[in-house]
Structure 1
Amino acid sequence: MTHSPQIRIPAVYMRGGTSKGVFFRLQDLPVAAQTPGAARDALLLRVIGSPDPYGKHIDGMGGATSSTSKTVIVSKSARPGHDVDYLFGQVAIDKAFIDWTGNCGNLSAAVGPFAISNGLIDAANLPRNGIATVRIWQANIGKTIVAHVPMTDGAVQETGDFELDGVTFPAAEIALEFMDPAADEDGAGGAMFPTGNVVDDLEVPGIGTLKATMINAGIPTIFVEAEAIGYEGTELQDTINGDDKALAMFETIRAHGAMRMGLIERIDEIAKRQHTPKVAFVARPAEYVASSGKTVRAGDVDLLVRAMSMGKLHHAMMGTAAVAIGTAAAIPGTLVNLAAGGGEREAVRFGHPSGTLRVGAQAALVDGQWVVKKAIMSRSARVLMEGAVRVPNAPL
């Protein structure tokens, strides 16, 4: 009986924010997978263990959730003013599909540390002690992210006392600046509000007409009011993820919102765009018990937000969606801004299923169009394992 041996590919398994994924240097991938296409997708699907009809990722590195079925490819950048290029792949769990249409804001926090530790940045440009500034080109959406990475004795500092709700243990703080975060993806047209309005009436067959803020910032996101779809904004994962009718409702809202945003031309195209856009629902502050058991009081937050990712309610908040939340909160009249009490603001603290998160953004009206130069938030990152992944029947 003949067999094909597994190949060995250098890789690092990292946590970034409230996500984790498998990180590769582009140069370490098999030649056939160093360019976009079927060979690359097949390789990364096998690394993660998808498609898995059992939904467990037993035979791969994935964690069988949207937060843990992720891959990252990093390379030195030839783009002026940037250190590295960062490409993110969101891997479907039960389908042979990788969505390359958006970024992962959480894993963005791990890109700088990975690049430093894996020789992708000239050591002469790094401080021995202090803060290293890493300029990252986010290749999925064509945007710049600036990561501020703490260094101690010439190495990335990973331990510290920065706490992030949704992450069990404290670590070192990494500040991220998402520059000019209005998404400029295929079909998005680069406009922060693709419909030209901060609030629209979104007709959703079988559900009704919903007030919606549809924004391209960080990641294309559709915000609706919790009350309008029968929720309070205090829900945790079990309330929604075990309700097939609710999941179908959110997917219908997502599909029709994507149409209005110009991200798809036909409703059935949404099946090939699982990562974007996101759907989130907002509500005014209220007390609730987070998934950790901690009580979040109404006075602790400016508003409540719950967001869907890859067809399920996210356990915390996607980093890119947090950018969308911060941006929308800074613009008077959006549903996010109104849920936070209205008016002008440069930062917002919102409640999510795991706790709270603060994100800042500065918005200005320029020639009749809203612009945000950057959104700012803090995350942490840590190497969980490094070495190599083994992949059977991989393209060489």
Structure 2
Amino acid sequence: MSHIPKIRIPATYIRGGTSKGVFFRLQDLPDAAQQPGVARDKLLMRVIGSPDPYGKQIDGMGGATSSTSKTVIVAKSSRPDHDVDYLFGQVAIDKAFVDWSGNCGNLSAAVGPFAISGGLVDPSSIPANGTATVRIWQANIGKTIVAHVPITNGEVQETGDFELDGVTFPAAEVQLEFLDPAAEEEGAGGAMFPTGKLVDDLEVPGVGTLKATMINAGIPTIFVNAEAIGYTGMELQDAINGDAEALKTFETIRAHGRLRMGLIKHLDEIATRQHTPKIAFVAKPQGYTASSGKRVEAGDVDLLVRAMSMGKLHHAMMGTAAVAIGTAAAIPGTLVNLAAGGGERNAVRFGHPSGTLRVGAEAHEENGEWVVKKAIMSRSARVLMEGAVRVPGDAF
């Protein structure tokens, strides 16, 4: 067998929020992968170790979960009033495709720090000590994210006492502002509620007719009531991820919800859209024990939320889904708002499998439609390894 040399590509492995991913500067990618297309997708799949029929991604950087099978490409922005462009690729684990249809809110927390450390942000805008404001163009959904990154002695500060449930160790807080978070995706038409309703009757063959709030905010998300599908809202991963029938049911609901939202024209298109939309179920506050063993009391939260990501129950909460939760909670009458007790609110704290999270959003009506100008939440980020990834020269 002929010898195929490997190529070396500068990369950084970073934890952002409750996710991890391989970050690249666009300029460091091979020429063929600097443009969208087959070559780029093949390269990123080989880096991550997909497709892997064993579901382990042993021969790559992926961690065999939706939270750890992620890639990010960052470049200096040519857009006015933006520092960098950020493109997110969710790599399927056992299938040969990269889903570019949405953002990763957790890894968004790492984009500003990576851009500063990688020389992609004008040094004159970075204080010696204080907070650097990085304006990020999220290229997948065409939205602006503003990251507030702590700086100490001219460098990104990663250590601190900010604790994030789902992350073992404390770190420095990175505050994120998601501006005009109604998600832009083909078929959505820019509408926050693509069906025109806060709550729909969603008919799902084999499941029944479910009350559903379908919203485009942060990422397209379908919310249903936990009790309507036989759950309490207190579930941890083991209660769902080992149940093949349950996973099939969630995927069926997700497919019919996506069709109803106008994001696909035919049900079979859902197979190549694992990343969007998300499906989540909500319940009123109850006490439960989180996956870490930490006790969450009913009085600690406004509601409970569990969300599916790439076909599995997420171990905590996707950042983009948290934006959807905060946005829906701010709009009276949605299932999220009702689970939180109803009425007007500009912030909500919800319980997830790993603990709790607070997210804020302010909503108001304009010409009969709900508008949210900004959603805010805090995450943290830390570089785990930097250097280069190596892939076979014929990988793409």
Normalised TM-score (structure 2): 0.99
Q: Does 2:86 align with 1:76?
A: no
In structure 2, the partner of 1:22 is 22
In structure 2, the partner of 1:208 is 208
Q: Shift of the alpha carbon at 1:394?
A: 4.2
CA distance in 1, matches of 2:25, 2:121: 12
In structure 1, the partner of 2:253 is 253
- Secondary structure, counterpart of 1:258 in structure 2: helix
In structure 1, the partner of 2:356 is 356
Which aligned pairs between 1:1-150 and structure 2 lie closer than 5 A?
1-150=1-150
CA distance in 2, matches of 1:151, 1:297: 35
Q: Shift of the alpha carbon at 1:184?
A: 1.1
Letter in 2 for 1:248: K
Q: Shift of the alpha carbon at 1:395?
A: 6.1
Q: Shift of the alpha carbon at 1:187?
A: 1.4
Distance 1:88 1:394, change over 3 A: farther
CA distance in 2, matches of 1:346, 1:106: 21
CA distance in 1, matches of 2:395, 2:31: 8
In structure 2, the partner of 1:392 is 392
CA distance in 1, matches of 2:206, 2:132: 52
CA distance in 1, matches of 2:164, 2:314: 15
Maintained 8 Å contact 2:46/2:395: no
Q: Which runs of 5+ in 2 are unaligned?
A: none
Letter in 2 for 1:165: D
Q: Deviations over 1:70-111 (max 9, x none)?
A: 000000000001000000000000001100000000000000
- Secondary structure, counterpart of 2:331 in structure 1: coil
Q: Does 2:235 align with 1:235?
A: yes
Q: Deviations over 1:109-136 (max 9, x none)?
A: 0000000000001111110100000000
Maintained 8 Å contact 2:71/2:91: yes
CA distance in 2, matches of 1:22, 1:148: 21
Q: Shift of the alpha carbon at 1:246?
A: 0.3
Q: Shift of the alpha carbon at 1:39?
A: 0.2
Letter in 2 for 1:283: A
CA distance in 2, matches of 1:395, 1:313: 31
In structure 2, the partner of 1:154 is 154
CA distance in 2, matches of 1:139, 1:91: 17
In structure 1, the partner of 2:266 is 266
Maintained 8 Å contact 1:7/1:394: no
Q: Deviations over 1:57-77 (max 9, x none)?
A: 110000000000000000000
Q: Shift of the alpha carbon at 1:226?
A: 0.1
CA distance in 1, matches of 2:34, 2:186: 22
Maintained 8 Å contact 2:4/2:394: no
Q: Shift of the alpha carbon at 1:393?
A: 2.8
Q: Shift of the alpha carbon at 1:293?
A: 0.3
- Secondary structure, counterpart of 1:193 in structure 2: coil
In structure 2, the partner of 1:322 is 322
- Secondary structure, counterpart of 2:73 in structure 1: strand
In structure 2, the partner of 1:366 is 366
- Secondary structure, counterpart of 2:384 in structure 1: strand
CA distance in 2, matches of 1:80, 1:394: 38
Q: Does 2:297 align with 1:302?
A: no
- Secondary structure, counterpart of 2:66 in structure 1: coil
- Secondary structure, counterpart of 2:183 in structure 1: coil
- Secondary structure, counterpart of 1:148 in structure 2: strand
Determine what percentage of the aligned residue pairs are the same residue.
Answer: 83
In structure 2, the partner of 1:279 is 279
Maintained 8 Å contact 2:240/2:247: yes
CA distance in 2, matches of 1:209, 1:75: 45
Letter in 1 for 2:235: E
Q: Deviations over 1:224-282 (max 9, x none)?
A: 00000000000000000000000000000000000110000001110011100000000
In structure 2, the partner of 1:334 is 334
Distance 1:48 1:145, change over 3 A: same
Q: Deviations over 1:356-390 (max 9, x none)?
A: 00000000000000000000000000000000000
| Moved >6 Å (runs of 4+) | none
CA distance in 2, matches of 1:273, 1:126: 38
CA distance in 1, matches of 2:89, 2:43: 12
- Secondary structure, counterpart of 2:67 in structure 1: coil
Aligned residues: CA RMSD:
0.7
Maintained 8 Å contact 1:279/1:308: yes
Letter in 1 for 2:204: V
Letter in 1 for 2:6: Q
CA distance in 2, matches of 1:187, 1:106: 25
